[in-house]
C-alpha cells in the first residue's frame, strides 16, 4: 500500500494508506455509523458523488459478494476507514474489498482516525474533500476547495435508468434459515404477483425492489423524468417514488 492523504476544504488533513485504486478523487465527505453493510453502502446510489467515512473500525472482514449489492456498480467517490481486513472470512465472499475497489477504480484510505474525523464533520458539517496518493498536503487542500459542490449537481440524472424495465430480480430470495420454521436452505420462493406498480427511479436500491417484489408487486421501473401522464396511462395499481442522491 502507498501513503495517502485525506484533505478537507477547511484545511484539516489526515494521513493514511491508500487501498484499491490509486490516484486522486474528490467529493462531499460524510460519515456512516453502521457496524455492517459496507457493500450495500458502497453500491447505494444515494451516495453518488460522496466520500463515505465508516465509523466502525474494521471494514472488509466478510468480503464482497454478488447478492448484497444495491445497484449494478459502486457509487461512492471514496471510502475512509480505520482498518482494512485483507483476508475476508465468509462462505459468501467472492473477492476482497480492496480487489473490488481496484476493479471499479475506487480509492480507499485506511489508518485514519475516523472518530476524530467524524467529530469534526459533526461539528463543522459535510464539506468537500480529496483523497490522494499523489498530491502534497498543500495541493490536496487546494484541490478540495476547487472540487465541484453538491449544490447544483444533478446526480439523479446520473443514476436513474435510461430505459424503463421490469424488475425481474432473483427468482428466489436469499435469507437466513429459521430454526422455528425448519427452513433447510438459504433461499425462499417469492409469492405470486398480486399488484402492478410503476417505480420512479431517483436512485432506487435493489433492496427496495426486492421488498416490493417480496410483497407481491410486479414492478416497472422508469426514468426520473418520465411524465406523470405517461405513467398513469399504464393504469398501474400504484406509483412508487424512490429516494436517491442529493
Q: What is the CATH T-level fold of the domain 3-152, as seen in this structure? A: Glucose Oxidase; domain 1 (3.50.30)
Residue 184, pLDDT score: 53
Domains of the chain: which residue ranges?
3-152, 158-241
Task: Look at residue 226 and give its three-state secondary structure.
Answer: coil
d(CA 212, CA 200): 13
- The whole-angstrom distance between residue 92's C-alpha and the CA centroid of its chain comes to 19
Q: Give residue-wise pLDDT tens across range 134-165.
A: 999 999 999 999 999 988 899 999 999 999 99
- The whole-angstrom distance between residue 195's C-alpha and the CA centroid of its chain comes to 29
Residue 171, pLDDT score: 54
CATH architecture for segment(s) 158-241: 3-Layer(aba) Sandwich (3.40)
> For the chain, what percent of residues have pLDDT higher than 90?
87
d(CA 226, CA 165): 13
Q: Please determine, for residue 47, whether its predicted confidence score (pLDDT) is greater than 80.
A: yes
**Beta strands 24-32 and 50-54, pairing class:** parallel
Q: Please determine, for residue 130, whether its predicted confidence score (pLDDT) is greater than 60.
A: yes
Amino acid at each position: 500500500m502507498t501513503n495517502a492523504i485525506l484533505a478537507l476544504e477547511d484545511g484539516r488533513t489526515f494521513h493514511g494508506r491508500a487501498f484499491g485504486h490509486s490516484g486522486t478523487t474528490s467529493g462531499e465527505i460524510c460519515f456512516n455509523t453502521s457496524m455492517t453493510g459496507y457493500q450495500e453502502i458502497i453500491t447505494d446510489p444515494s451516495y453518488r458523488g460522496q466520500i463515505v467515512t465508516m465509523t466502525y473500525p474494521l471494514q472488509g472482514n466478510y468480503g464482497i459478494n454478488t447478492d448484497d449489492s444495491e445497484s449494478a456498480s459502486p457509487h461512492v467517490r471514496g471510502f475512509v476507514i480505520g482498518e482494512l481486513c485483507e483476508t475476508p472470512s465468509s462462505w459468501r465472499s467472492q473477492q476482497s474489498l480492496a480487489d473490488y475497489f481496484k476493479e471499479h477504480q475506487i480509492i480507499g484510505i485506511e489508518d485514519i482516525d475516523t472518530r476524530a474525523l467524524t467529530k469534526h464533520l459533526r461539528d463543522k458539517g459535510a464539506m468537500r474533500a480529496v483523497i490522494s496518493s499523489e498530491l502534497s498536503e498543500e495541493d490536496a487542500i487546494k484541490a478540495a476547495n476547487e472540487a465541484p459542490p453538491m449544490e447544483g449537481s444533478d446526480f439523479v440524472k446520473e443514476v436513474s435508468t435510461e430505459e424503463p424495465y421490469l424488475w425481474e430480480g432473483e427468482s428466489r430470495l436469499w435469507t437466513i434459515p429459521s430454526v422455528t420454521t425448519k427452513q433447510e436452505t438459504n433461499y425462499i420462493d417469492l409469492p405470486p404477483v398480486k399488484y402492478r406498480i410503476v417505480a420512479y427511479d431517483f436512485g432506487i436500491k435493489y433492496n427496495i425492489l426486492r421488498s416490493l417484489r417480496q410483497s407481491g408487486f410486479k414492478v416497472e421501473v422508469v426514468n426520473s423524468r418520465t411524465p406523470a401522464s405517461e405513467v398513469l396511462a399504464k393504469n398501474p395499481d400504484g406509483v412508487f417514488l424512490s429516494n436517491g442522491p442529493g
